[in-house]
Structure 1
Amino acid sequence: MKSQSVVFSGGRVPQKGDYDLSGSSSVLFIVIAATEDRAYVRKVLDALKTLYTGSRIIGASSDEAIVPEGVLQDRAIAVTALSFEDTVVETVRISSCLDAAERVESYMRDDTKLMISFSEASSVNGELLLDALRPLCGSVPVCGGVAATPTFENTFVIEDAQILDSGAVMAFLHSKSLTVYTDFSFGWQAVGRSFKITEAEGNRIVSISGISPAELFGHYLGKEVVDAMPGIGSAFPFMIKRDNMLIARGIIGVDGSSFIVSGNVKVGDEIRIGYGNPYSVMQQNGLHKRLVRKLPDPECILSFYCEGRKLFLPRDVVEYEERVLNVVAPTVGMFTLGEFFGRGRKDLLNFSSTVVALKEGEPGGERALEFPPPPRLESIEMVAEGLFHFIEVRVKELENLAYYDELTGLPNRTLFTGILQNAIANVTKEGGSGALFFIDIDNFKDINDTVGHREGDEILRLLSERLEKELGRKRRLCRFGGDEFAIVAENMGEGPETAKFAEEILQRVKERIEVGVHGYHLTASIGITFFSEQNPDVEEILKQADIAMYRSKRLGKNRWSIYLESMGQDAKERYFLEQQLRGAIEKREFVLHYQPQYDIETGEIVSVEALVRWSHPERGMLFPDSFIEIAETSGLIIPLGELVLDMALEFFTVCRNLERVAVNISSKQFNDSDFFSMVMRLLEKHGINPENLELEMTESVVMDDDSETTKLLFALAEKGIKLSIDDFGTGYSSLSYLKRMPITTLKIDRSFVTDLPEDENDAAIVRSIIAMAKTLGLKLVAEGIETKEQENFFKEEGGIVGQGYYYSRPIPQEEILKRLR
């Protein structure tokens, strides 16, 4: 095999003679675009495709490219041709993690030696992609990484001659004579005490040891560090131990007080704050020497280097690490937002340098190689060791002073435990009881997202001062973190005093808070439980108050609830069902039933509404009212909604004579920033015209004044997707939003249909809705038709689609297909 790299810049594109591909049976071009000029990238790709027909092309955007001459700093495009004699090259595009396994399985062969993959940063979770590959690949190595750009935004990947804004691309090398060696260099250190992740989702860390990541960093590294996030996140990654391997997760984004990190984490992970010591990195980096011992004479080295590592290490260290690899063999590669590393295991690494060495044919014997001396780092070592010492000292100091919240000065969660234990001892001694009030500020995340965390912090500080003034003797206010507070009240039992105090708290929270030019009216949800000699367990008391608080949330917020034993059982059932639901989504334990919609005048099926059912392995078929609320409150409605849409569109591909399929969408899905791209990705995956999809939503969604929601609705409509208002007439029913929003269909709520045609009031309302819809050019669907008389009522009005038990209950896919034949 041969490796030939050419750098293109200044408008130059590939020409004949740039590469000598004589004698090769297959060619893989790896294109690393260290530029955001997509038009130029496209010209280079078109030239490659025209000149070198039959070759394969994959690539990605990057901040800088790695070529045999060194690290390419200019905004240019590096194109490397890997030409093989006895290796077959195949490439494939993967639209999402969901279809990765199916796509990859069809390309895996007994002689597959290596997979090279690049993924787009915003649309594909690199770790989930590797998880999907793990069962299929076995010991076949995976290399590559997550695409980057100079601005870390608008990343892209390349397959064939296409620039792709989403998904992943992959090259498979099949050969009986190809030798592959993979390795990586790390060199980061963990400092201070360890913590446990207590709440996380994917790559988003919500809480660590019960407090937000922002508070943890502010506590140990200072508020200035938190304010500089995520830019300084490469300097202080989280260190996580997985299967006796230390990996880093850099901070790449901030969402409220949560941190978005560069790979997946999970609840229970033990983490420490990390620090990169350049001197230590230089001492530990024997990557080039290990490589030569394992594969003495490689013909090419692929290098994938983390952006975070490059940002923190001195430039001469970065260049040295690549220079010594080029002594071994021509080295090409890129800078990534996460490196794929697989040698048996499949891991997404960060802050590392990963390499893959390739050799076609029999490996040769050992070679005597001379490597250049490393750069001198005396001053850097001093700075690094000084910072290391500072962090260690800071951690030790704050471990002794870690009992009070830095923002409010209130006792924090750690000290709360001691306060509650002391209160329990006091009431036990006196033979009385006490109460715990667990307070959560409603919708406070919206304030942080709107005006920012600085103003949000000031609101919480002023609120805590106000609440503390209201406390009487033997009552302590604590801040749990974020927007959660707790009040421990001794000598308070199950009487009117408790209710009165809870109402006073609600009233104090509701009073206007002035911050700068803004005024805020807050509300709170409060959970109350009692402690005494009979109920002395701190964790149990806290759990009870938390359960009662969530009951207040479910009942509409801005209220208080006292814990009852039945709540505990309900909470347990909800918790277990949520865990089962999480697993059910991963295992796709759901089926869709479809209720047909008929053209009342012709009697033909024109559309179907997809309705989800959970095929529970123990409880049988569960209807949505058993699990949708839990999906909504837990956030699982996002992956569940995507799964339902995926299944509905897959069903539509086998339908005949059907205009469209309708799918219900919740408000939380509309608020998800990835919703639009997800819908378009699934439509493209199944090859379905957007005009064949109808999304059903409640009136509250379109009544939302949020400009982002409005933009989303218009973006969907511009693609041709139909938008329908479900249960019309039961909510706001405003003519103004119907004129303002791109709605195509109204579904008359069944409550107006049930008593037709006898009920004159309902008949008048329905006729008014029909007249309004026709005036606005909207289609109408009448829900809940159950009798011939109801059908005749709508038939007389003309131009209406009917849906209800009169025609059909929701039925499985096979039954719908029979009716459509």
Structure 2
Amino acid sequence: MLSDRRFVRFGLHLLGIVFYALFYYGHAPTPLLAIWAAGVLAISIHSMHIDGKLAEVQARSLSRTEFVHHTANALVKGLIWAAPAALLVPYADSATNAWAWSYVAMLALAAAVSRHSAPLASVIFCAVVTCGWGAGIVASGHASFAAVIVLTGLFCVMGTLEGALATYQARLAEMGMDEKSQVVSLLLREYEDSDADWLFQLDKNRRLRSVSPRLAFALRRDLTELEGVSFIKLISGTAWETGKFSSSVHLLAEKLKDRESFSNLVVEVQIGGERRWWELSGTPMLDENGVYAGFRGVGSDVTAQQESSEKIAYLARYDTLTELPNRLMLHEALGDALRYAEKWRSRCAFLMIDLDRFKAVNDSLGHQVGDRMLAEVAKRLKALMGEGQLCGRLGGDEFGVVIKDAAEKSQIEKLAQSIIVRLSEPYKINDHLLYVGASVGSAIGPRDGHSVEELMRNADLALYRSKDAGGGEYCEYEPTLHASAEERRKLELSLRNALVNNEFLLHYQPVVDAVTEEVVSFEALARWHSADHGFVSPGKFIPLAEETRLIVPIGQWVLREACEEAARWPGHVKVNINVSPEQLIEPDFAASVVRALAQTGLAPERVEIEVTESVFLRDAGIARRALEQVMALGCQVALDDFGTGYSSLGYLRKLQFSTIKVDRSFVQGASQQSAESLAIIRAVVAMADSLKMTTTAEGVETIEEAEMIRSMGCTKIQGYYFGRPMTAEEARNLIRREDLRKSA
């Protein structure tokens, strides 16, 4: 473009020489005209040479030397074209001079519009030419025409400056756009070279265009295979053939179809037969006419993050040990079942399951075996579940089952009984053959509760009732259970204050010599007369005290009170004190016995601690050490309710008990001539004799039973026939009467 302008300018100068020769030939001296024409030709050739060097000036800046040369050339050129105003104008008429000026004005205008990259040269040329011609015209006596010439020059200068400014601003804008383009290109290259992200572009038919190497790598395809292929087909894998698309792919397809922008959309894709997760963002593209042309967007592989999120979600809703739903998920499932039941006017159910005797397994064989048993229980439970039934672990050895549709009541009972039978079957774990049972309680919604909390609480009450019945039972919730639970809560509250309020007292039941029928000891029995509930049966408050561990302070009070009362009796009468398993596992149990003996002055040999076999089912080692410490003090230990458990013989071998107490159930059975009961009593007596232990038969109520027990060789007898539990004063009176009878 600059080259074209250079020749045009040269041509204009040559044409000017011709016109001036025609205008002034015959008027001005020929030599003078020839000298001027030679000057124009020379400066024009020099301008051609300078402009040739500046052909690429639009793409760079002028150097200082180039600037000086170009400006000087413009000055000389202006002076040469201004010279006719002084040299030639005086020889011609006004019309000729007007035509001559018109041509110079055209040259000034041409300079103003063609020198935006070098505006100073144009300004100098225009200023010199107009000023020279203005001065020459004024000298010729045409001042008004000179004013026109000066204004023409002024406008050319202003036009030159405005054009230069516009050119400069355009150049700055162009440079800014170039810089931005370079930055964007650089960022895109870096983006494409990253390991985790890629760009994608789709045409209006949702087919890939301009596929990048990173996207090809992510799709595990060759770059040449992807151009023009459906994007949805590439990411859906086998679902493209089966039509079973994931919900996220469906959503992406809808967004593309509706031409909606999307951001951070997580899509489940299949790449090379492997499930992965992509996070995609995209926006529609429009062409220069505003017509939809496809989609452009960015994607990244977020499989690791998604799998981590899924794992966290799994851990939040599933039990890691059993892989069953946890309490949270059961809570949600029961909530859904309740809403379903209320919507369709049907019924749902919740079963709460507790393992029987599991704690004994855990305590005796360790938690590792216990955990394996829980995992096996979970497998058995899961195998029993049918359609619309969900089992899960509530915690510890408690499980739950949600039945979504429990329209048939028999279905609930049938499932509960199946659970009890299946979970009661033996378990083979680490070469141990183990047995546990299961108790089940149920609540039906919305009959037994309109909320999840109500149903769970009521199922728990039903479970508690089945446990109270001895375990291995199934019980449904009944409204009376809630009343019982409320009564139990109030009873527990009163029991916590019973010691402070001095509401306990001890009764004493005599134990007599089987031959002489003389009193040899009294069994101390705790009684509770509550200010709120009146007299409360031991069968009601003792289990409650053991469950709440209130039995520990109560047992310490019984120990101290019984020793204090026994200290008032003759030296040959002992006191029997029942001790709970909860007391035995206390670290200072032996110390509490020492304190009671020291405070009351009672001889240790006059105290016989009574324990049941259940003490050895929990922390057997601790219980054994505690009893050995008590025996080392000189106290005796009796094994109560012998024969009702399954570990008696083993502990008879390990501990030197002083007395074995035969349970009243065998005594009553023997009185009814039960061969089994008779055989058990004879075996116990024979075994006790061989181990140098005494035997006490409990529950003797008639003379016939007393005679039978005596004939079978029992050492001592206890029962209503010889005396019911009595107050301390009555016990002392009984001892005095017996002493008087002996002395008489």
Provide TM-score, normalisation by structure 2.
0.49
Higher strand proportion (structure 1 or 2): 1
Point out the structure with max Rg over C-alpha. Answer: 2
Higher helix proportion (structure 1 or 2): 2
Provide TM-score, normalisation by structure 1.
0.45
- Bigger RCO (CA 8 Å, 6+ sep): 1
